[in-house]
Amino acid sequence: MKGFTLYFLYTILVLLVSLYIFLLKNNKNFSKNKLLPGNIRWQVLGKNIEFATSGPRKFIEERMNKYSSQVFETSFLGETIVVFCGPARNKFLFSNENKILTSCLSRSMRKVLLFSSYVDNSLKEVDVIQRSFLHEILKHEALKQYILVMDALARHHLETEWASFKEVQVYDLEKHYTLALACRLFMNIEDPLHVKILSDPFGCVMKELFSILLDFPGITYNRAIKDRKIIRGQLLKIVRNQ
């Protein structure tokens, strides 16, 4: 028994030393090939815990102050990402979409946002479907029809959700209005009860959108997957009844 214990401890020691040497060597190679300021080590966990506890604004601002106020790299959701900061960098991103840059979603996001049949599709295939949809709903004729609906719904929303209160939580109300407007414009859903049925699971899905792909019972990401299925079922039911 004593011999086995010594052998076990020796094995653990060898593994730890090997891991240390590997990380040290990898860090040196990383430093030599580094193109942007930032830190992308420990990509398995990334900075997800820090992002969840501090929030996106503090997460970004801390790295802007530490690395660069213009562009830096970090790790998130197990992926290496580059963050562009400021109006000029945002303009660069939007003006070069599908030119020198292409859309990208982590697998955890795709699994939550997309139907199961599209999760394994390339982003180019998904982008084609998305663009065809956007082309239809953003036509000039369609936009003219939206204005009256948006104005009427905004007035009703302010009267019922804002006017009778001295203080309101704008962000939550804005999300509720946006979802109600989307339901009205794109699915012709006017019943507040139907919007409520979609609103609760939709809120959970959006909350867990930036999560590591750990789909196990009891984990919040698993709850988001279940809520996505609820939303899908409700949307299919609405489409079939129209």
- pLDDT score, position 202: 83
Give mean pLDDT, residues 86-98. 79
Asked if pLDDT for residue 229 goes beyond 60, the answer is yes
pLDDT for res 155: 92
Burial of 112 from C-beta contacts in 10 A (0-12 / 13-18 / 19+): buried
The CA distance from 90 to 45, in Å, is 27
Is 2 a residue whose pLDDT tops 80? no
Could you tell me the CA-to-CA distances from 127 to 102, 104, 115, 131, 139 in Å, in that order?
Answer: 10, 10, 14, 6, 18
Q: Please give the pLDDT value at position 120.
A: 63
pLDDT per residue as tens digits for the range 112-154: 777 666 666 666 666 666 666 777 777 778 788 888 888 999 9
- C-alpha closest to that of 200 among 239, 169, 226: 226
Say what the pTM is: 0.58
Q: What whole-number percentage of the chain has pLDDT above 70?
A: 62
